[in-house]
Chain A
Amino acid sequence: MTKFRLQFGLFALGVLLTIGATIPVDASTYLSHFSKDQYLMTKKTIHTTNSHYKNIKITIPKGTVFKSSSLTRSRKTKHPYLTINLNRLHWSLRKGVVQSYHNVTTTSGIWAKSSTFKKVHAPAYQSYFKQPYTGTIGGLIWQGTKAFPLRQQYKIENCLRVTDDGYLEYFTGYDYWVKKMPEPHSAAKVEQLVKKGNAYYFYTKSKISGLTMKHVAKKGNHRYRLKITKTDQHMATVNPAQDKKYDESVTISIRYYVGGKKFYVNSQVIEP
């Protein structure tokens, strides 16, 4: 009997300890310790508005991956909050803010609660480009042989990118100077990414018009395949200074092949 009591006592103590141990975890319902480029995934659908003007309704579905802003603490409650840059998400999510006449593309502050967000690794579908030195991934891949000189960037070009939430978007006639990412000419969700050496194979359910994709299956989600190849070839575009005798800077771009055609990514600018 005493043995049983002792066992029960130990069991009760164990339960108490577990509860005690879970309480601090339960208490820290806010995210902290963000890395420089912190990606998050929404754990539930978020209803919010654009920042400052608060006149556009924004809905971010459950399971959306995005690169978070850094954490800011509320002055009143000291709780951390973050914002989402809609420019980095696919068209149907950013449409509202892009079509509004305000130049704001971020959401209002959203509490950085661990019940709303979960930290995730940087998505592989954006690993096609990694900025040297900063390590930031993703970004625009431009169609053409190499970067335009800075003073000629009014030229309208075609480009593609993969959004934070995994949509491959192809833009035609993209104005280099826009602040808000326009409606893509064509886009599709990336269903799967296969990496083989320097080649990235993006599988989608539908064809992205304008890009050379291979039709690989008639059924299922992996019907079309786009091959993006990264090379080590660096190109230089010298940007002359106002006094043409001198140079202001040089833009370094890296050669890519997208569906067999020449593309490039701007990697860095060097000044004398």
Chain B
Amino acid sequence: MKPTTQLIAGALFMLGATFIQTQPAHATVVKNSFLKTQRSISTYNSNKHAKLTLPKGTVVQVAGTKHLHGNKYVDVYVDRLSYNIRKPLLSVKKPTVYSHWIRAKGYNFKQIHKPTYLSYYAAQSDGKKSQGKVRTETGDLWKGTRLPVDYATSAAARLRVTTDGYLEYDASSPFVFKVSPKPTASLKVEKASHPMASGETILTTKSRVKQLPFVKKSKDHYQLTITNAEAGTITVVPNTSKVKKILTNWIFKVGKESWYENNSVTTFK
């Protein structure tokens, strides 16, 4: 073999090797992907202060990925899970809302599409940045039409669906929180539908929350409809002549009531 041929062959081999290295089994699992646990996973939160258990069949959302010694790991948003799973976070002093790193392997997870019960909001846009505007799509809906300017010190009724499919209602939740406290009510979403082009997400539950406009369909069969209102509002903090932050809110109709999601923040120096 000529030295040049050897060199080319060597370069090709190296190229192939790097290509294989950068293509692990779960290449499509990225930040904001959805995974379903394939077994009960015992883990911690990221600073190991709280012990957590993700039961088999739990739908989790990926917060980030990393590679270590050729293995891929994910951490998941624990705060976006139902109360029973995130409860240990509420009893520690310095909670972190992410799980510890978990191997991204088939025996732990199966990748799934965004669950239908989360289709009312852009669940996979959280954290995206363009022109200084950072998307904050967490699925938390607040009663009203716009975030108050003094949101950092106030509270309002909050509604959300956890990634593992529980509808949580909090009668008075502070706007700024680290870990979502125990909800006033929590209902398992039995079925969800998202008719094409209707902008509606219909959640079916076995019982209802009095404060929310549930529609009774039959015994043990209630429905709550969340509709995209195709409208937004803007919150300027602290005032329009000296702007520090611009927050945008997207409007939803829950039944006939107006609720909103705070969907972006732009910060000025």
A residues apposed to B, CB below 8 Å: 132-133, 145-146, 232-238, 241, 243, 245-250, 252, 268, 270-272
Contact = CB atoms under 8 A, between A and B. Distances in A.
Interface of B: 131-133, 145, 231-234, 236, 240-243, 246, 248-251, 263-264, 266, 268-269
29 contacts: A132-B131, A132-B132, A133-B131, A146-B240, A232-B269, A233-B241, A233-B242, A234-B243, A235-B241, A235-B243, A236-B234, A236-B246, A238-B234, A238-B240, A241-B231, A246-B232, A246-B233, A247-B233, A247-B234, A248-B232, A250-B234, A252-B246, A268-B131, A270-B133, A270-B234, A270-B246, A271-B248, A272-B233, A272-B234
Contacts of B242: 233-235
A231 to B, nearest CB: 10
Nearest to B130: A133
Nearest to B241: A235
Contact of B251 (A246, A249, A250, A271): A246
Contacts of A145: 241
A245 B234 contact: no
A236 B250 contact: no
Given A133-B132, A243-B231, A272 B240 contact: no
Contact of B240 (A235, A241, A246): A235
Contacts of B268: 234, 252
A250 B246 contact: yes
Contacts of B269: 232
Given A246-B145, A246-B231, A237 B240 contact: yes
A107 to B, nearest CB: 32
Contacts of A235: 240-243
A137 B145 CA distance: 37
Contacts of B231: 241, 243, 245-246, 272
B236 A250 contact: yes
Given A238-B234, A246-B233, A270-B264, 18 more contacts: A145-B241, A235-B240, A235-B243, A236-B236, A237-B240, A238-B236, A238-B240, A243-B231, A247-B234, A248-B232, A252-B268, A270-B246, A270-B248, A272-B231, A272-B233, A272-B234, A272-B248, A272-B263
A270 B266 CA distance: 9
Contacts of B243: 234-236, 252
Interface centre among A237, A243, A247, A268 (most CB of B within 10 A): A247
A265 to B, nearest CB: 14
A149 to B, nearest CB: 11
A145 B241 CA distance: 9
Contacts of B133: 270
A245 B145 CA distance: 8
A235 B243 CA distance: 6
B220 to A, nearest CB: 37
A89 B94 CA distance: 60
Contacts of A238: 234, 236, 240
Nearest to B262: A272
A245 B234 CA distance: 11
